[in-house]
Structure 1
Amino acid sequence: MLKIRLKKYGRKKCPSYRIVVIDSRKRRDGRPIEELGFYSPLTNETTLDIHKINQYKYNGAQMSRVVEAIYTKAMQGIS
């Protein structure tokens, strides 16, 4: 099953995350199928490819709770 979840990168005490599509059995920082966005919790900066996320959701990919919250917040900002 495919999951849309966060992949951590950045240095110690300064995290940044990439929003990726990855097989659910892979480790957190494993090789993703595709990168769909970026999220920085310290600066609250978010970049998402909404079209690709919707396409993966339509094809059955599951989103993690945190990514779902980021996605809904971004969708409210668009409307």
Structure 2
Amino acid sequence: MENFDNILLFKTNISCEADKTAVCAMLRNLNGVEQLSVDLEDEDRVLRVVSATLNHQQIIKLINQHGYNCCELI
């Protein structure tokens, strides 16, 4: 059973498969990322990260440093 406290949701500007691939590759290199996905069909381009150790701010900082917009989806 998944612990919903460990699911981090973000609104992004990831707009194509190439961006999705780049962001996912970057996040897979982080210790603590258990699962991740980007929904390119959703208007908010939702990034979903499952991690018991990372927080929203850590992910936002990393994504923003690589030129993408990312904010916590509430």
Taking structure 1 as the reference length, the TM-score comes to: 0.31
Which of 1 and 2 has higher RCO (CA within 8 Å, sep 6+)? 2
Higher fraction of strand = 1
**Larger Rg: 1 or 2?**
1
Bigger helix fraction: 2
